[in-house]
Amino acid sequence: MVKIFSIAGNDDLTSGLSRLINESENKLYWVANEAKLYEQLQSEDKSVVILPDTTAYDVYRLCEKISLQFPLATPLLIFQSEEELDMKKALRAGAADVIFLSSSFSKIREDIQLAISNNESKSYFQSKSKPVKNAKVITVASTKGGVGKTTVAVNLAASYGKKIAKVAVIDLDLQFGDVAMYMDLKPKRTIYDWVKEDQDGTQIENFMTEYKNGISVMAAPPRPEFAEVITGDYVRKAIYALKKLYDVVIIDTSCSMDENVIVALENSDDILVMTYLDLPTLKNSKMLLDTLGSLHIGDRAKVVLNRQMKVKGITVDTLEKVLGRKVFTTLPAMDKPMITAINEGNPLNYTSPRSQVAKRLFRLAEALYNPESRSSKKKKKAKRIEVSAGGHV
């Protein structure tokens, strides 16, 4: 049976809602505050949460937190009249429905019963779903453009796609992302559509664009201005949902350290910091590593030196001294085959699998992925690869 929760406060509302719900088979549970509400929801598989608009809390913020933290809960907002509602905020917060106290008694009861019915259906389909995975999350980051973030993200996905059942790539360069172009995809639905249409995150697979070899892409919005509606909470929610469906989640990021990128970094198992052997890039890489340290996630960072070549005045040793850590792996400069692969819309691992850079990308992928479920033999192999990657693969 679905339990119904609400925060006590308004005596008239309390008695009115109690009378309404007591007429059904369900029971209404009143809690004193937000903390008590979270405590109750932790132990419930099925629940409807009625949130009256009040000065005691921000109803939109609370609704959004419930939507993100408790995907199987169904939040309803209650307002005195339509004039008090900000529909845009309600949609962003993930409200399942809005009830107006100015409506008739029968209409309010009908709306609550519909929410209960929808919650039961959602819980049923969730219980019949496939076994839950727990994907490894890898974010490719740099505060400098043109250092190969997208190239590495796409080719890591291609490397995993040949060996692992399911790989998700999130294009978090929300204004000018190119992941879909690198794979010659024309997405019909993007992260923008997901934010608009799938507030509880249960249908996120329907918003992924399939590539091949088990690879799917959550594409960036089709227009730069659409990025405005995508907040850090949605990014966190997307990562959480995709982790349960895929074996590996790879995130390509923009150059800016905005809220969305920080959320992605904080929810990653490994962070690949892309860099070059030039002073501006080294300066930016050092700043990024310092920022990761201040966020207490510096231990997840792995430096990837892209387009390694002899540069007068700057060596790998110099780079390591500046950054204060060893290079995890290096990728050789191969501009011509890389540009050809991009123009053809195919990962380099597919177009030039025998090239040095493709081999190193594949070894990088192996070094990063070492699930507990592997056999001891495979674990030993991955361990050896990781040691070699710790120097210069």
More confident site: 106 or 199: 106
- Residues 241 and 349 both lie in one domain: yes
Rounded Cα–Cα distance for residues 60 and 92 (Å): 8
pLDDT at position 375 is 37
pTM as predicted: 0.65
Domain span at 301: 136-390
| pLDDT higher than threshold 80 for residue 382 | no
8 A C-beta contact, residue 17 and residue 50: yes
Count of the separate structural domains present in the chain: 2
- Residues 164 and 54 both lie in one domain: no
**351-363: pLDDT as tens digits:** 888 888 888 988 9
- Residues 260 and 323 both lie in one domain: yes
| pLDDT higher than threshold 80 for residue 238 | yes
Q: What is the DSSP letter of 371?
A: -
- Residues 186 and 238 both lie in one domain: yes
- Residues 9 and 88 both lie in one domain: yes
8 A C-beta contact, residue 161 and residue 306: no
Where residue 384 falls among pLDDT bands split at 50, 70, 90?
very low
pLDDT at position 218 is 97
Rounded Cα–Cα distance for residues 29 and 3 (Å): 7
Where residue 225 falls among pLDDT bands split at 50, 70, 90?
very high
Sheet holding 97-100, edge to edge: 28-31, 3-7, 47-52, 73-79, 97-100
- Residues 114 and 145 both lie in one domain: no
Rounded Cα–Cα distance for residues 294 and 210 (Å): 37
Q: Give me the sign of the Cα torsion angle 380, 269, 148, 143.
A: negative
Average pLDDT of the residues in 235-246: 92
- Residues 177 and 260 both lie in one domain: yes
CATH number of 350's domain: 3.40.50.300
- Residues 224 and 245 both lie in one domain: yes
**179-210: pLDDT as tens digits:** 999 999 999 999 999 998 876 667 899 999 99
List, in sequence order, every beta strand (DSSP E) within 185-238: 209-210, 215-218
- Residues 251 and 375 both lie in one domain: yes
| pLDDT higher than threshold 60 for residue 120 | yes
CATH number of 57's domain: 3.40.50.2300
Closest CA to 326 of 314, 335, 316, 334: 316
Alpha helix (H) residue ranges in the chain: 11-22, 34-42, 59-69, 87-93, 105-127, 149-161, 179-182, 191-197, 232-243, 259-266, 279-294, 316-323, 335-344, 348-351, 356-368, 376-390
- Residues 201 and 341 both lie in one domain: yes
**26-53: pLDDT as tens digits:** 678 888 888 888 888 887 778 899 998 8
- Residues 188 and 255 both lie in one domain: yes
Rounded Cα–Cα distance for residues 63 and 92 (Å): 9
8 A C-beta contact, residue 364 and residue 351: no
- Residues 358 and 235 both lie in one domain: yes
**266-277: pLDDT as tens digits:** 999 999 999 988
State both tokens at 241: 């949902």
| pLDDT higher than threshold 90 for residue 8 | no
